Structure 1
Amino acid sequence: MKKTLRYNFRLKPTVEQEAKLAEFGAYARGVWNLLLSENVRRYRYDKTFLFYDEMAGLLRDLKKFDEFSWLKAFDSAASQQVARDLDTALKNSSNKGRAQQFPTFKISFKLKRLHDDSFRCVNNNDCIRIEKGAISIPKVGKIPIVLHRKLASKIKTATVKMRHGNWYVSLTQEVECKSAKQVLSTLVGYDINSQYTVVGSNGWYVKNPKAFKKASSKLKQIQVQLSRRTKGSNRWQKSKSRLNKLHGKISRQRLAFAHEVSCSIAKSSDIIVFEDLNVKGMQQFNGQMVNDNVMGLITELTKYKAELNGAVYHEIGRYVKSSGICSECGHEHKFDLSVREFSCERCKAMQCRDLAAAKSVADTGEKDLMASGILVRALPKSQQKSPPKTKVFE
């Protein structure tokens, strides 16, 4: 089985190439707004929408007019991708299961003082290729690229974007997944909380690095400096650039930490059990802590990496109680969040709250997987003698 993954690489364009990339990003935004406005007008007229085939035909017809000559300068495959994205957004907004809002118009980066436009190219007839340390982008040319890793397979699409003052390209490639393991010997449950990012039922702890909290004093200093500058002046632009780069550094630190943790989890366990956290609801109470802990990102990365390694990934129900359950006798307790260690009221066993929660997650996940028929307890062979606590599944 193959899985499509996305890999990000840094670009080092020249001044002329930067202007061209920013221009193409503006073209993609213009195509989105143009097609969306036509959809709004059509819906007000006869309560219907334009979908991909009609939008692609509209773009082809508009190229004949002088007012839309900029569509000829833009890559035709990239404009078709914008139409595909709008088609998907329109269908998701009308799907009750997705609960997504109706697509909105994109604002110019000049109004927001940011470069956040992007465009996606398709590798038709090998038009996107990497040769001699440079990537070829249609109608842009060869741009130097920082190739920090080898390509997994042939490039399918390339998304060019600017983030925190630097240009990046995101390449989608197909990666072959390992075959599913027939015999699974390690089942580990993981609890995610504020003090420790991840606590495993096998006693593995990962402390929260709190990248945002460590940089908060520097952020405050730059923000105060920015507030004292005249908006739009050269000094204001320099302070804004410093603030943008610092936010980019924090974002990269969080992403690198999430990749390290998820990679360790996916490689060390055959059966991985997490709890389905309501991250959006948790952000309403303490958004900074939840964002700094990258709770949702770790579970997302672990899920696809477990599929690549042939492991089993499972999430227990959102409303299943896992915290405050004794790992020895299963007695349930109710504590405040400030209580990190407790003594069981029934068996008097002293234990860590996070470790007990991770063991409870592992037990619940094991019962769910066996009840659904995904796992079956393997019978030991008569010649083999295994410890009584060892569990082997098929």
Structure 2
Amino acid sequence: MKKTLRYNYRLKPTPEQEAKLIEFGSYSRGLWNLLLSENQRQHEQDGTFLFYKDMASRIKQVKNLPEFAWVKAFDSAAAQQVARDLDTALRNGTSKGAHQKFPKFKVSYKIKKLHNDSFRAVNNSNCIRIENGTISLPKIGWVDIVLHRRLVSNIKTVTVQFRHGKWECSITQEVECKEAKKVLSSIVGYDINSKQTVVGSNGLTVSNPKFLKQSKEKLNTLQRQLARRKKGSARWNKTKNRINTLHGKVSRQRLDFAHKTARQITNASDIVVFEGLNVKAMQKFNGQMVADNIMGLISDLTKYKVELEGKIHHEIGRFERSTGICCECNHRHKLTLKDRTFTCVNCGTHNDRDYSASISIRNSGERDLMANGTIVRVKPMPQQKLLGKTKVFELSKLSTGSEEKSAA
């Protein structure tokens, strides 16, 4: 089984190439707005929308018009990707099950140095390749790239974007997953909370580094400086860029921490169980705390890393209770946010709130996986001996195949 992954690299374009990248980003934004306006006009006439095939034909038509000569200067494959993205946005914005808003027009900043446009090029006929520390981009040429890691397969697409004062390219590749393990020797549940980022039923505890809080003093100083500057002046732009750079540093620190934590969780066990979190609803309660704790990011990164290793990732139901359950007798207690420990009124066991929740998540995940037939408990033969409390499972051998059951 193959999985599409995305790897980010830093670009170092020349001034001429940077001007071309900015130009292509503006073309992508302008084409999005053009196609979206055509969709709105079509919907006002007969109540229908233009989807990918219709939008692709419209792009061919406008290329011949003199006022749309910039569409002809744009990469044709990148223009088709804009149509595909808008097609997906229209389908998600008009369907009831997607719960996404209708697409909006992209507004550019007045100053090009503060733009955040991007475009995606497709590797047709091996037009995108990396040689001697450079990457070839259609209609742009060979651009220097910081190749900090080797490519694992052929390049599918490349997305170029200007983020936090630096040019970056995101390369998608197809990676072959390892063969699914037939015998699974351990299962671990993980509780994600605000105090510690992750608490595992195997004793793993990862504290929340709070990178935004570490940079808060410097960020407040720069924001006060920005308030004293005249908006649009050279000093205002300089301070604005410094704030943008600082936010980029915090973002990279969070991503690095999330990848390392996800790798540590992946290597610790064969079956990983998380709780399904409604991060969007939690952000309404305390958005800064949730964002600085990267709750949902760790679970998402762990999922694809576990699948690459041929292991099992599972999430219990969002409304399934895990907090306040005694890890010894499963007696339920009502706890407030301030109660980090509690003593069971049934058996008298003193429990840590987060560790007890991780054990409840592990037990719930084990019941779910055995109920839907993904795994079965291995019973030792009379002459075999298993260590202490070690649980051994194996993938159930049904006609549907273990890969389909693990994805269900």
* TM-score calculated relative to the size of structure 1: 0.98
- SS of match in other structure, 1:274: strand
Contact 1:10 1:166 (8 Å CA) reproduced: yes
Alpha-carbon deviation of 1:112?
9.4
What is residue 377 of structure 1 aligned with on the other side? 377
* Alpha-carbon distance change, 157 to 106 in structure 1, aligned in 2, over 3 angstroms: same
Q: 1:291: which partner in 2? A: 291
**Cross-structure match for 1:233:** 233
Aligned position for 2:46: 46
Tell me which amino acid in the other structure corresponds to 1:315. E
Q: How many angstroms apart in 1 are the aligned matches of 2:175 and 2:382?
A: 40
Find the counterpart in structure 2 of residue 121 from structure 1: 121
Deviation (angstroms), 1:109: 2.7
Q: Partners in 1 of 2:384 and 2:222 — Cα distance?
A: 65
CA 1:112/1:75 → structure 2, altered by over 3 Å: closer, same or farther? closer
Match of 1:217, SS? helix
CA offset at residue 114 of structure 1? 2.5
- Deviation of residue 364 (structure 1)? 0.7
Judge conservation of contact 1:177–1:309 (CA < 8 Å) in 2: yes
Are positions 1:157 and 2:161 aligned together?
no
Partner SS for 1:376: strand
Deviation at 1:111, TM superposition (A): 6.8
User: Equivalents in 1 of 2:84, 2:335: separation in Å?
Assistant: 50
Query: Does 1:301 find its partner at 2:301?
Result: yes
Deviation at 1:145, TM superposition (A): 0.2
Residue type matched to 1:230 in 2? K
> Match of 2:239, SS?
helix
Counterpart in the other structure of 1:171: 171
- The amino acid of 2:129's aligned partner reads R
- Number of aligned residue pairs: 394
Q: Which residue of 1 aligns with 2:60?
A: 60
Moved more, 44-53 or 359-368: 44-53
CA distance in 2, matches of 1:18, 1:112: 11
Q: Which moved more, 1:78-87 or 1:380-389?
A: 380-389
Question: What's the offset of the Cα at 1:381?
Answer: 2.7
Return the alpha-carbon distance in structure 1 between the equivalents of residues 145 and 111 of structure 2. 29
Once residues 354 and 76 of structure 2 are traced to their aligned partners in structure 1, the CA distance between those partners, rounded to angstroms, is 54
Aligned-partner Cα distance in 1 for 2:310–2:273: 15
TM-score normalised by length of structure 2: 0.95
Give the drift of 1:93: 1.4
Q: Which residue of 2 aligns with 1:275?
A: 275
Structure 1 residues 170-209: aligned runs within 5 Å: 170-209=170-209
* SS of corresponding position for 2:150: coil
1:110 positional shift:
2.1
* Amino acid across the alignment from 2:71: L
**Residue in 1 aligned with 2:391?**
391
Tell me which amino acid in the other structure corresponds to 2:174. Answer: E
Aligned to 2:403: none
Q: Deviations over 1:323-363 (max 9, x none)?
A: 11110111111111111111111111112111000001001
**Are the equivalent residues in 2 in contact too, given 1:343–1:349 (CA < 8 A)?**
yes
Q: CA RMSD in A?
A: 1.1
Mapped to 2, the partners of 1:49 and 1:349 lie a distance apart of 62
The amino acid that maps onto 1:29 is: R
Q: CA offsets, 1:261-302, max 9 Å, x none?
A: 111111221000000011111111111110000000011111
Point out the more displaced range, 142-151 or 372-381. Answer: 372-381
- Which amino acid in 1 is paired with 2:78? A
- Aligned partner of 2:398 in structure 1 is none
Which residue in 1 is equivalent to 2:3? 3
**Residue by residue, what CA displacement relative to the aligned partner does 1:40-65 show, whole Å, maximum 9, x if unpaired?**
00110111111111111111111111
Correspondence 1:84-163 to 2 at 5 A: 84-110=84-110, 114-163=114-163
In structure 1, what is the Cα distance between the partners aligned to 2:233 and 2:386? 72
| 1:311-322 to 2 correspondences below 5 Å | 311-322=311-322
**C-alpha distance in structure 1 between counterparts of 2:368 and 2:207, whole Å:** 29
2:22 alignment partner in structure 1:
22
Work out whether residues 276 and 315 of structure 1, in 8 Å CA contact, stay in contact via their aligned partners in 2: yes
2:362 corresponds to 1:332? no
Amino acid of the residue matched to residue 346 of structure 1? N
Q: Distance in 1 between matches of 2:382 and 2:23?
A: 71
* Structure 1: runs of 5+ lacking an equivalent: none
The answer as to whether partners of 1:109 and 1:117 remain within 8 angstroms in 2 is no
Pairwise CA distance, 1:259: 0.5
* 1:262 corresponds to: 262
Distance 1:345 1:111 in 2: 64
For residues 54 and 329 of structure 1, the distance between their equivalents in structure 2, rounded to whole angstroms, comes to 62
Residues 152 and 173, structure 1, Cα contact 8 Å, conserved in 2: yes
What residue in structure 2 maps to residue 83 of structure 1? 83
CA contact (8 A) 1:185 1:270 kept: yes
Deviates more, 1:339-348 or 1:26-35: 339-348
